[in-house]
Structure 1
């Protein structure tokens, strides 16, 4: 059972123009094709008890893409190019991630999800990458995904999921922000050639992976989603959902491979 966070935006369909929770189909299709059951998690009051009840029913979590994280969460004023903040979604996903980490619940962060994870753990973001790298190749605009090459760090979980592929590995991107100062406990596991962080992991948990790119856009490559679903299955069968240690089950079956 895999929970996926959703947008909450004004939306039009037929005669209706109302605030609505939604998520592009490619996200939950990827979870389903990888063998999981998808459950959508719209933004709502983020009190710890409610979040705990939600996570009681899940075996894994995907924090999806969307609007920029509120810069106030990492002590900065907003850049002119930064989105209008979505404080309800920020708070909801922050609490989901914090409790998922405490429970050692497997999670995957995608684009905004990677950025929010970093901020939740005390890190900061580059608010507008063109100011840093001098080009806008990471976000072409008009909903068009660019492809960039990333290099994956050896000995990382990502390296194992990609069958010991260090790189270059082509991935679809659509982001104008990225991780700057790293959050507590995170390690960088992939970068592009210009140094932009494209993936991080949290080694303290059995499966805590976050990528800046959009794996749901690669219909023929389910490796990240399959890795999450397999970790969720181990979580479900290896212990209850109250945070009991899952370490032994993970170390024997998580599938990490040494470089060949």
Structure 2
């Protein structure tokens, strides 16, 4: 069954796969504001997408602008997951399962 995790869903997938979280962004090294105070329709920062990933197949670009409304982030994605996008400050923004046909998780809210 295809799975798409969004925001907290990406965090849940990471933990279910043995990964870890930063419980609060203040614990991670970050230079971007990942919790925006405006409309979800307004993108707030860029991410870098890994070529060859399912996410790249969908967005067809290496760099996209996304919205952001979270205070927790993935620290480690778990052994069976791979990181497929990061923000400019190196925060994990997307992960994918290495073996499953389609398990994709993104930290932002697609619009």
**TM-score normalised by length of structure 2:** 0.89
Partner of 1:127: 23
* Aligned pair partner of 1:157 in 33, 54, 72: 54
Unaligned runs of 5+ in 1: 1-104, 219-260
Distance 2:94 2:49 in 1: 8
Aligned residue pairs, count: 109
* Aligned pair partner of 1:177 in 48, 72, 88: 72
Which secondary structure does the structure 2 equivalent of 1:188 belong to? strand
Which secondary structure does the structure 1 equivalent of 2:28 belong to? helix
Change (3 A) 1:144 1:131: farther
Partner of 1:214: 109
Unaligned runs of 5+ in 2: none
Change (3 A) 1:184 1:121: same
Distance 1:106 1:134 in 2: 31
* Aligned pair partner of 1:192 in 54, 68, 87: 87
Are the aligned partners of 2:30 and 2:91 in contact in 1 as well (CA < 8 Å)? no
Deviation at 1:135, TM superposition (A): 5.4
Distance 1:115 1:197 in 2: 10
Distance 1:171 1:202 in 2: 21
Question: Going by fraction, where is strand more abundant, 1 or 2?
Answer: 2
**TM-score normalised by length of structure 1:** 0.40
Partner of 1:205: 100
Which secondary structure does the structure 2 equivalent of 1:161 belong to? helix
Are the aligned partners of 2:20 and 2:75 in contact in 1 as well (CA < 8 Å)? yes
Are the aligned partners of 1:129 and 1:136 in contact in 2 as well (CA < 8 Å)? no
Deviation at 1:193, TM superposition (A): 1.1
Distance 1:134 1:190 in 2: 15
Instruction: Select the structure with the greater relative contact order (CA < 8 A; seq sep ≥ 6).
Output: 2
